[in-house]
Amino acid sequence: MKNDHLHDSLEFPKETKLVQGLYSISIASILASIIGYFVIEDKAQFFFSWLTAFAYIASIGLGALAFLVIQHVTRSKWSVVIRRIPEAIAANLWVLALCFIPIAIGMGYLYHWTHTEVVEADKLLQAKEAYLNIPFFIGRNVVYFLLWGFIGFRLYKKSVEMDNTADWGIQTGLRRLSGPMIPILGFSIAFASFDWLMSLDPHWFSTMFGVYFFAMSFQVLFPVMILITFYLHSKGLLTHTIGQSHIESMGKLFFGFTVFYAYIAFCQFMLIYYANIPEETLWFEHRVDGGYIYLFITLLLGRFLVPFALLLRKNNKTNKGILKFVSIWILFIHAVELYWIVMPTHNHHLHFSVLDITTLVGLATLFLALFFQRFKSSSMIPKNDPFLADSLNQH
């Protein structure tokens, strides 16, 4: 299909073998992870590695969903030509429910509060038992996945419907749906981060952890969108549709949320350091002992200072080489940070396992395969959106 104004094909090539290749890598990596579970003596390692990989793909998917509802509520015009990317990501959030199954199976390895004898010997865990119990934990996560899966697929489906019908009234419906979702998503993402990550150390608590996880998720979303855009351009797709101004806008948001992430991460650390409450400071102590200090320093330099310095200049926000490097770097650092959050609960000394790689590659390529399968099934942009012309003419 050709559009004379865009001079671009709006359809992803159907004959590409990209999706099949990604599925093959995913299946091989997940099978290798399962074999690793039966081979290694430390069975818990599989579940901690899986949780880290799960949090990685979940954070990107939830960042995409939050980005979408914000764009609809604010009636954003610039983002129309790139909106199908986060739509195709968010439409596949249902897969999180399947990926959560190993976590539910391995709760006894992951979460100390699941053991009755541990709770009976700990007054603090007894005080938290009304919230930290297995039925309520599973029930909350079922609600999360139903909510995110429904909203993500609904936003995608109605957007594609507008492609086919040119009914601009659908845009109003998307905005009305997205409005209430902003606070609902905010609370659900925060509580999910409490459940998955913060409850690994049930004595520790941070009221900022939900915002911290959101800041991580939103920062890592823009590298994903930037790299997908560059991949499309490398294949000669949407080269006239997604222009330098759109790339610059993504670069600005990337830079802005790098600063926001650093602010939230520093505030969380500073407040805990200043209060000096043992239950709180021990969480950080475990993450600077046993070799984890090297990851802590890597995060300090790599997650903030490197992208901040490279993206500070205006021209760098459209420099393809710099944006590619910083985007790939943040995708790597994001995995390092989640590892740093999760693994000290299992290993008090820094110890890498091949399962850390196989689980991450398996789930990441699965999510990427589902994205491209969805992305190529419809127009690559919302071609009948009422704000499309404004987006195309952005300077």
Question: What is the number of other CB atoms lying within 10 angstroms of the CB of residue 290?
Answer: 13
Q: Which helix (H) or strand (E) holds 233?
A: helix 209-234
Distance of CA 118 to the CA centre of its chain: 32
Q: Is the pLDDT of residue 109 over 70?
A: yes
Which residues touch 211 (CB under 8 Å, ≥6 apart)?
A: 190, 264
Q: Confidence class of residue 276 from pLDDT cuts 50, 70 and 90?
A: confident
Which whole number is the average pLDDT over 341-348? 93
Question: What is the number of other CB atoms lying within 10 angstroms of the CB of residue 240?
Answer: 11
The SS3 call for residue 379 is strand
Give residue-wise pLDDT tens across range 37-47: 999 989 999 99
Asked if 29 contacts 359 with a C-beta cutoff of 8 angstroms, the reply is yes
φ, ψ for residue 2, nearest 5 deg:
-115, 145
Q: Per the structure block, which two tokens stand in for 150? A: 């429904």
Residue found under tokens 């109605």: 158
Q: Give the Cα separation of 270 and 212 in Å (integer).
A: 13
- The DSSP letter of residue 115 is -
pLDDT of residue 393: 87
Question: Which residues, in sequence order, are bridge partners of residue 3?
Answer: 8
Q: Please report, rounded to a whole number, the percentage of residues in the chain having pLDDT higher than 90.
A: 85
Q: Give the Cα separation of 239 and 222 in Å (integer).
A: 19
Question: What is the number of other CB atoms lying within 10 angstroms of the CB of residue 66?
Answer: 21
Q: Per the structure block, which two tokens stand in for 113? A: 């509060």
Asked if 307 contacts 255 with a C-beta cutoff of 8 angstroms, the reply is yes
φ, ψ for residue 100, nearest 5 deg:
-80, -20
Please return the burial class of 352, using the count of CB atoms within 10 Å of its CB with bins 0-12, 13-18 and 19+: exposed
Which whole number is the average pLDDT over 30-57? 96
Question: Which residues, in sequence order, are bridge partners of residue 75?
Answer: none
C-alpha radius of gyration, the chain, whole number:
21
φ, ψ for residue 380, nearest 5 deg:
-75, -10
Q: Give the Cα separation of 159 and 164 in Å (integer).
A: 9
Q: Per the structure block, which two tokens stand in for 370? A: 């589902």
Which whole number is the average pLDDT over 370-380? 93
Q: Give the Cα separation of 86 and 75 in Å (integer).
A: 16
First to last CA, the chain: 26
Question: What is the number of other CB atoms lying within 10 angstroms of the CB of residue 214?
Answer: 23
pLDDT of residue 128: 93
pTM of the model: 0.94
Nearest-CA neighbor of 192 among 215, 178, 204, 210?
210
pLDDT of residue 4: 43
pLDDT of residue 27: 97
Give residue-wise pLDDT tens across range 151-199: 999 999 999 999 988 888 899 999 999 999 999 999 999 999 999 999 9
How does the average pLDDT of the chain come out, rounded? 93
Q: Per the structure block, which two tokens stand in for 187? A: 């609370």
Question: What is the number of other CB atoms lying within 10 angstroms of the CB of residue 34?
Answer: 16
Which whole number is the average pLDDT over 347-359? 93
Asked if 54 contacts 105 with a C-beta cutoff of 8 angstroms, the reply is no
- Kind of pairing between the strands at 8-9 and 2-3: antiparallel
